[in-house]
Amino acid sequence: MKKGESALTFVFSLIFLAVILSIFYVLFLLSSANRTNYVINEVNLGNVNINLINYLRTPITDNKKIFDLILESYYINNYEDLEKITNNIFNKIYNADKCPLWRITGEINNERFFDYESEFDIKKYTLNPGPRNIIHIFTDKSLITRTSSLNLIIPDPNKKLKITLKEGCINE
């Protein structure tokens, strides 16, 4: 009997230990799942978009820059050259794999007069119909967008020109 009772105590002690360890393990897992993860990618304070500035000051001829072409296109109402050059520049900067989204717009007195953008497939970055959707609302790749605007002075004092560039790059 002595032997049997001793064995019983030992078995109960082990069960007790296992239960306590399991409880703490479950709570530890729950606690880890609740960890908040902040990912800071950039600070936009005082950050001028170099791509936008350089686009505007790109020389087309010796005396003409893209900024001049924008104004010229507006006044003669012919945007053919502007569209061609703009698409050419931005498709070169933002390659479709890493930065599939770009959009540039021009406004005079809050009225949009040109608007060009990349061929961007939004479906790739929205809800994924796969079974992993329960956990991942979005696909593994998310798109981080950044918008930069420049207010520019033009010869006509009654008009205000605003050029806005939106770019979207994949955050992997």
In this complex, which beta carbon is closest to other proteins, that of residue 69 or of residue 108? 69
Six token digits for residue 88:
């050419």
Tell me how far CA of residue 166 lies from CA of 15, 102, 118, in angstroms: 61, 5, 10
In this complex, which beta carbon is closest to other proteins, that of residue 50 or of residue 134? 50
Q: How far is the CB of 82 from other proteins (least distance, A)?
A: 16
In this complex, which beta carbon is closest to other proteins, that of residue 26 or of residue 127? 26
Residues near other proteins (CB under 8 A) are 1-2, 5-6, 8-9, 12-13, 15-16, 19-20, 23-24, 27, 30-32, 34-43, 47-48, 50-51, 53-55, 57-59, 89, 92-95, 98-99, 169, 171-172
> Could you please report the per-residue DSSP string of 100-124?
-EEEEEEEETTEEEEEEE----GGG
End-to-end C-alpha distance for the chain, whole angstroms: 66
Q: How far is the CB of 155 from other proteins (least distance, A)?
A: 23
Q: How far is the CB of 56 from other proteins (least distance, A)?
A: 11
Six token digits for residue 55:
């686009």
Residue 116's φ and ψ, nearest 5 degrees, are -125, 145
Instruction: For residue 137, give the 3-state DSSP assignment.
Output: coil
Q: How far is the CB of 149 from other proteins (least distance, A)?
A: 16
In this complex, which beta carbon is closest to other proteins, that of residue 93 or of residue 137? 93
Burial 50-70 (b: 16+ CB within 10 A, else e): ebbeebbeeeeeeeeebbebb
In this complex, which beta carbon is closest to other proteins, that of residue 54 or of residue 126? 54
Q: How far is the CB of 168 from other proteins (least distance, A)?
A: 13
